[in-house]
Amino acid sequence: MAGKGKTVVRTLEDLTLDSGYGGAADSVRSSSVSLCCSDTHQSVSHGGNNCWHLTESMHSRQNSLDTVNTVLAEDTEILECSGQCAKLPELEDVPWSLGEVEGALAKDEDLVLGSPPPEVLARLSALINRALVRVAREAQRLSLRYAKCTKHEIQSAIKVVLSWTISVNCITAAVSALSLYNMSTGDKFSRGKSERCGLVFSVGKFFRWMVDSRVALRIHEHAAIYLTACVESLFREVFGRVLRSALLERDNGIPKLTVEALEQAINNDSEVWGLLQPYQHLICGKNSSGKTEAERC
Contact 26, 45 (CB under 8 A): yes
Domain count along the chain: 1
Asked, for residue 285, whether it belongs to a domain, the answer is: no
Asked, for residue 205, whether it belongs to a domain, the answer is: yes
Domain containing residue 204: CATH number: 1.10.20.10
User: What single-letter DSSP state applies at residue 35?
Assistant: S
Q: Which residues lie closer than 8 Å to 225 by C-beta, 6 or more apart?
A: 151, 174, 177, 178, 181, 193, 197, 199, 203
Domain of residue 252: give its range: 98-275
Asked, for residue 161, whether it belongs to a domain, the answer is: yes
Asked, for residue 62, whether it belongs to a domain, the answer is: no
Contact 134, 37 (CB under 8 A): no
In order along its 297 residues, the chain shows pLDDT tens digits of 555 554 444 443 344 444 444 444 443 333 434 576 544 344 333 444 333 344 433 333 333 344 333 333 344 444 444 446 788 888 889 999 999 999 999 888 777 666 788 999 999 999 999 999 999 999 999 999 999 999 999 999 999 999 999 999 999 999 999 999 999 877 767 789 999 999 999 999 999 999 999 999 999 999 999 999 999 999 999 999 988 887 766 655 566 788 998 999 999 998 999 899 998 876 555 544 555 444 444
- Name the residue among 219, 220, 217, 223 with its Cα closest to residue 26: 217
Q: Which residues lie closer than 8 Å to 41 by C-beta, 6 or more apart?
A: 28, 30, 34, 54, 55, 57
